């Protein structure tokens, strides 16, 4: 099975990245610091995808972002060819953007498709581990090779798909997901996942769609993203723990750019101290 990863990102630019972490929005970072933090996170995510070595890597960037800046940033860090292609998001919403990226890879399931499965990630998940990506690929291959998966694939218009239907996803800390992958023969679309009239969470909506079409589905471990100051505070102890664990587990990949930048900022997490009551 040919696999692709699409990393969604805004091109790093002051005032465009992680503004909810900034002082202007009640956070603790300047606009420049938020941009630099996000850039470090994005590079760490790409690094984990490269190390996983199980998918072709694509970048879907914001429509008005500076593609030349992003291309230079990636090639100067990882070399030419580490990322297979960078393309611009032409969707007008999260739903449309993700569907556009999937369609870009699958090309309606034709022989011109770029992969048989696609996994979508965000650039703000710096603790993402290569082993999680590898586990997602293996789990998708397993469930998509089952008889139920091929029965499900018959709901599409494809003739004799090489692999059956299946979805793999992570969960995040707010009822959403930060990784989702599925095969080209899966009767699934992102319509209504993020924007629906019933207030259903993105994670629940994926489950409803999978149940409606009898799509085989499985999970990988939680992958936290960083949108809010509380997310940033909660990831600091995780990074400290990863640094220690790395001494005993060579499979752990440290998000070294994120760690380095946060250390330069001097950020530390703290917990409230309760008074002892006799």
pLDDT at 274: 65
Q: Residue 175: which pLDDT band, with cuts at 50, 70 and 90?
A: confident
SS3 state of residue 14: coil
pLDDT digits (tens, 9 = 90+) for 91-115: 989 999 999 999 999 999 999 999 9
2-7 mean pLDDT: 98
pLDDT at 276: 59
Query: pLDDT over 90 for what percent of the chain?
Result: 89
pLDDT at 198: 81
Is the confidence at residue 121, as pLDDT, over 80? yes
pLDDT digits (tens, 9 = 90+) for 64-75: 999 999 999 999
119-123 mean pLDDT: 96
Q: Residue 199: which pLDDT band, with cuts at 50, 70 and 90?
A: confident
Dihedral, 96, 97, 101, 103 alpha carbons, nearest 10: 10
pLDDT digits (tens, 9 = 90+) for 28-53: 999 999 999 999 999 999 999 999 99
Contact 185, 155 (CB under 8 A): no
Is the confidence at residue 278, as pLDDT, over 60? no
pLDDT at 174: 77
Of 53, 56, 52, 83, the residue nearest 67 (C-alpha): 83
163-172 mean pLDDT: 95
Q: What's 3-261's CATH class?
A: alpha beta
The sheet with strand 167-169 has its strands ordered as 85-88, 56-61, 3-9, 117-122, 179-183, 167-169, 217-219
163 burial via Cβ count (<10 Å: 0-12, 13-18, 19+): buried
For 165, other C-beta atoms within 10 Å of its C-beta total: 30
Contacting residues for 10 by C-beta, under 8 A, at least 6 apart = 16, 17, 38, 61, 62, 65, 123
Of 210, 28, 185, the residue nearest 118 (C-alpha): 185
Over the chain, what is the mean pLDDT?
94
255-265 mean pLDDT: 96
138-142 mean pLDDT: 98
Rounded to whole angstroms, the maximal C-alpha distance in the chain is: 73
Domain coordinates in residue numbering, the chain: 3-261
pLDDT at 235: 93
26 burial via Cβ count (<10 Å: 0-12, 13-18, 19+): exposed
**DSSP code of 227?**
-
């Amino acid at each position: 099975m040919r696999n692709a990863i699409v990393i969604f990102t805004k091109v790093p630019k002051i005032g465009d990245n992680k503004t909810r972490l900034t002082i202007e929005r009640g956070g603790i970072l300047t606009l420049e610091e938020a941009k630099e933090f996000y850039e470090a996170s994005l590079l760490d995510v790409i690094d984990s995808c490269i190390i996983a070595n199980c998918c072709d890597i694509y970048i879907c960037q914001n429509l008005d972002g500076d593609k030349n800046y992003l291309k230079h940033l990636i090639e100067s860090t990882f070399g030419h060819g580490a990322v297979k292609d960078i393309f611009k998001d032409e969707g007008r919403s999260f739903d449309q953007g993700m569907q556009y990226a999937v369609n870009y890879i699958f090309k309606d399931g034709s022989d011109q498709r770029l992969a048989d499965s696609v996994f979508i990630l965000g650039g703000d998940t710096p603790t993402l581990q290569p082993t999680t990506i590898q586990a997602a690929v293996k789990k998708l291959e397993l469930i998509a090779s089952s008889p139920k998966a091929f029965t499900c694939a018959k709901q599409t218009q494809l003739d004799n798909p090489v692999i059956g239907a299946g979805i793999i996803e992570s969960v995040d800390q707010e009822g959403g997901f930060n990784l989702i992958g599925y095969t080209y023969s899966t009767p699934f679309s992102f319509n209504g996942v993020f924007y629906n009239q019933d207030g259903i969470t993105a994670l629940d909506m994926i489950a409803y769609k999978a149940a409606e079409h009898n799509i085989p589905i499985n999970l990988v471990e939680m992958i936290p993203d960083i949108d809010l100051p509380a997310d940033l505070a909660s990831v600091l102890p995780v990074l400290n723990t990863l640094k220690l664990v790395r001494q005993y587990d060579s499979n752990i990949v440290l998000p070294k750019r994120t760690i380095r930048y946060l250390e330069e900022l001097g950020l530390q997490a703290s917990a409230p101290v309760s008074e002892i009551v006799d």
